[in-house]
C-alpha cells in the first residue's frame, strides 16, 4: 500500500501544473488542495482492482493504473474543495490544514474545484489506458456519470436537501450511494478496465464489492466522526451532528452502525470469493476501510 | 442558423435529466440554467466547422455535431453559472432572467455548474462521434484542456487577479484568449473532428480563424456592454466598468475597439480563404459575431 501511495503521490504532483505557471495563484491553490494529505483510498482501490482484473496480478500495468488513480483522486479532491465552501459545509479544516478557501479565497477555491474536474478528464484522454481506444472512451463515460448529477454531485444535492430532516435508513443509504459510493465504484471499475480481462459477470461482482465498500466507508466515517478528536481525524469532528445532518450513528446508534459496517465488510469479501488470488489487495482494502481506527 | 439553433435547443433539453428525476431541485436548476436562452454561438461554430471539414458540407453528420455542440454549450453554461456566483461577479441577471443562484440558491448553483461540466464529458463519451474511437478520445482531451486551469477556468483566474488593475493590451488579450477564446477554439476543433477529413495544416488555419473570432467576440462584448441597455442585452450592463474591470473599451476607447473587432473579422475571413465553399457558414458567423447590434 505504501508503495502505491508513494507512486500516486508523485504522479499527482507531476500532473498538476507548476505553481510558477500562470495563472500562478490558481495553480498554487490546486497543488495546495491536491497534494500532501489524504489516505488515497480511491487510488488504492484503482490499483487493487487492476490487479484483480489482470491475468497475473504482477502484470497489472502501473503506468495505466496511476493515470486512472490520479483522475479519480483529482475528482475526489475537487469534491472536497467545493463541499468545504461557505455555501456548502462551510468547513475550515481539511486533512489537517486550513481548507482551500480559507488559505486562498472562495473564488479561487471554486476555480480549483472546476479545474481539477477538467484535469481528471484530461488525464483519461491524453494517456493510453487501454489497447482498445473504445475501452478508454468507456472509462471517461464511467467517470463522468459517477461525478454528475446522478452520481457524486447529485449525492451532494440530496445531502443539502436532508439537513435538519430525519432520514430513514434507505434514504440515508440512497444519499451515500451517490455522494461517496459513486466515485468508489468508479475507482474499482476504472482499475479493472485498465487490465480488461474480466467477463461481465466478474465485473458485476467487483461492482458489488465496490458498492459494499463504499457504503461501509461512509458508515465508518460517521462512527469515527462521533468517536474521534479533530486532531486525530484532521478535519472538524462532530460537525454533522451540530449541523443537524443525518448520519448512520444518529439513525442507528453507535453499536448498530458498527455492526452494519462489519456486515458490509463481510458482503464485500464474499463478492470477491471467485476472483482468486488476484483479489487479495481488494480484500485487504475492505478490511482496512472498515477496521481503521475503530 | 435558426435550424441549427432549434436542433441544438431540442438536444440540450433531451440530454438533461428531467426535473422529475431525483435530485429534483438540482435537475430543475440545471434545466433553468441551460435552456431557453443564449445565442448558442458555440454550437453554431461546431456545426459550421463540421461543414467546413466535411468532404461535402451537406454530408456533415448532424447527429454527431449536435452532441459536440451540446457538450460545448453545457460547459459554457456551467461557466456562466459559476461566474455569476457571489464570490465571482455576483451578478443577478443572465439571459434576461434571474441568475441561477438567485432563482435557486448558491449551493445549488455550485452543483449545477459542477454537474454540467460532468455532463459535457459524459456526452462526448457515450455517443459515437467518430468512426475512429481514438479521435473521440482526442476530442475529450481537446475539451478538457480548453476548460481547465490553462484554458477557460485559468482565464477566469486571470480575470479575478486583474480587477482594479490597469492591464496592457497584451495582458487583456492573454486573459480573453483563455477566458472565452479557449472554448470557442474547442468548438471549432470539435466540429472539425466530427467530420475528420482535414489535413493538419487546414486544421491549423481553422484554429487561427477560431482564435480571431474568439477575441473579436470579446471585443464586441465590451463594446456592447458600453453601448447597450440592460434590457437589450439581457444581462447587467456597465458592470465591468463599475467593478473597475479592464475592457477593450477602457484600454482602447470605443472607436479603436470597434476598429480592432473589424480587423479581427478580416483576419478570420482570410484564414478561411483556401477552405473552399464548405467554409461559408464559418464566414457568415464571423460576420454575425462582429456585426451584431453595433
> Distance between CA atoms of A109 and A142, rounded to whole angstroms?
26
- State which residue of chain B sits closest to A156, comparing Cα positions: B111
- State which residue of chain B sits closest to A86, comparing Cα positions: B107
pLDDT tens digits, one per residue of B252-263:
999 999 999 999
pLDDT tens digits, one per residue of A114-140:
999 999 999 999 999 999 999 999 999
Tell me the pLDDT of chain A averaged across its residues: 93
Complex confidence, ipTM: 0.95
CB nearest B106 (choices: A87, A121, A136): A87
Predicted model pTM? 0.95
> Distance between CA atoms of A222 and A171, rounded to whole angstroms?
16
pLDDT tens digits, one per residue of A12-30:
999 999 999 999 999 999 9
CB nearest B158 (choices: A23, A140, A144): A23
What number of other Cβ atoms are within 10 A of residue B275's Cβ? 18
User: A interface mutation test: which of B102, B157, B162, B178 has the most A CBs within 10 A?
Assistant: B157
pLDDT tens digits, one per residue of A200-258:
999 999 999 999 999 999 999 999 988 876 666 677 766 776 667 788 998 899 999 99
- As a whole-number percent, the residues of chain B with pLDDT over 90 amount to 79
What number does CATH give the domain B2-291?
A: 1.10.600.10
What pLDDT, on the 0 to 100 scale, is given for residue B294? 47
User: B interface mutation test: which of A111, A131, A143, A177 has the most B CBs within 10 A?
Assistant: A111
Is the C-alpha dihedral spanning A103, A105, A108, A112 positive or negative? positive
Q: Which residue has the cell 459535457?
A: B120
Tell me the domain boundaries of chain B.
Answer: 2-291
> Distance between CA atoms of A70 and A76, rounded to whole angstroms?
10
**b/e sequence A176-203, b meaning 16+ C-beta within 10 Å:** bbbbbbbbbbbbbbbbbbbbbebeeebb
What number of other Cβ atoms are within 10 A of residue A58's Cβ? 8
What pLDDT, on the 0 to 100 scale, is given for residue A1? 85
* Contact list, A157 vs chain B (CB under 8 Å): 23, 25-26, 108, 111
Residue pair B122/A151 in contact (Cβ under 8 Å)? The answer is no
* Contact list, B154 vs chain A (CB under 8 Å): 22-23, 26, 115
CB nearest B118 (choices: A26, A153, A160): A153
The C-alpha of A178 sits at a distance from chain B's nearest C-alpha, in angstroms, of: 10
CB contact under 8 A, B149 and A119: yes
Amino acid at each position: 500500500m505504501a508503495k502505491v501511495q508513494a507512486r500516486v503521490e508523485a504522479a499527482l504532483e507531476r500532473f498538476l501544473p507548476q505553481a510558477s505557471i500562470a495563472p500562478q495563484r490558481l495553480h498554487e491553490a490546486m497543488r495546495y488542495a491536491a497534494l500532501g494529505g489524504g489516505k488515497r483510498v480511491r487510488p488504492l482501490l484503482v490499483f487493487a482492482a487492476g490487479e484483480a482484473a489482470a491475468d497475473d496480478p504482477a502484470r497489472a500495468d502501473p503506468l495505466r493504473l496511476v493515470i486512472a488513480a490520479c483522475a479519480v483522486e483529482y475528482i475526489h479532491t475537487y469534491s472536497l474543495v467545493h463541499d468545504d465552501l461557505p455555501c456548502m459545509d462551510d468547513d475550515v479544516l481539511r486533512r489537517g490544514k486550513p481548507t482551500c478557501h480559507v488559505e486562498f479565497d472562495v473564488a479561487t477555491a471554486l476555480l480549483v474545484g472546476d479545474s481539477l474536474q477538467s484535469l481528471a478528464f484530461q488525464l483519461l484522454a491524453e494517456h493510453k489506458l487501454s489497447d482498445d481506444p473504445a475501452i478508454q472512451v468507456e472509462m471517461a463515460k464511467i467517470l463522468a456519470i459517477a461525478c454528475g448529477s446522478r452520481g457524486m454531485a447529485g449525492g451532494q444535492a440530496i445531502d443539502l436537501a436532508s439537513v435538519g430532516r430525519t432520514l430513514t435508513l434507505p434514504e440515508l443509504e440512497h444519499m451515500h450511494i451517490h455522494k461517496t459510493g459513486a466515485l468508489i465504484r468508479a475507482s474499482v471499475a476504472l482499475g479493472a478496465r485498465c487490465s480488461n480481462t474480466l467477463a461481465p459477470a466478474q465485473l458485476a461482482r467487483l461492482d458489488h464489492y465496490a458498492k459494499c465498500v463504499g457504503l461501509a466507508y461512509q458508515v465508518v466515517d460517521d462512527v469515527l466522526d462521533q468517536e474521534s478528536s479533530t486532531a486525530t481525524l484532521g478535519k472538524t469532528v462532530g460537525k454533522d451532528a451540530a449541523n443537524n445532518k443525518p448520519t448512520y450513528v444518529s439513525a442507528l446508534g453507535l453499536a448498530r452502525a458498527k455492526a452494519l459496517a462489519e456486515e458490509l465488510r463481510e458482503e464485500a469479501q464474499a463478492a470477491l470469493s471467485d476472483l482468486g488470488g488476484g483479489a487479495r489487495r481488494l480484500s485487504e482494502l475492505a478490511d482496512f476501510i472498515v477496521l481503521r481506527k475503530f
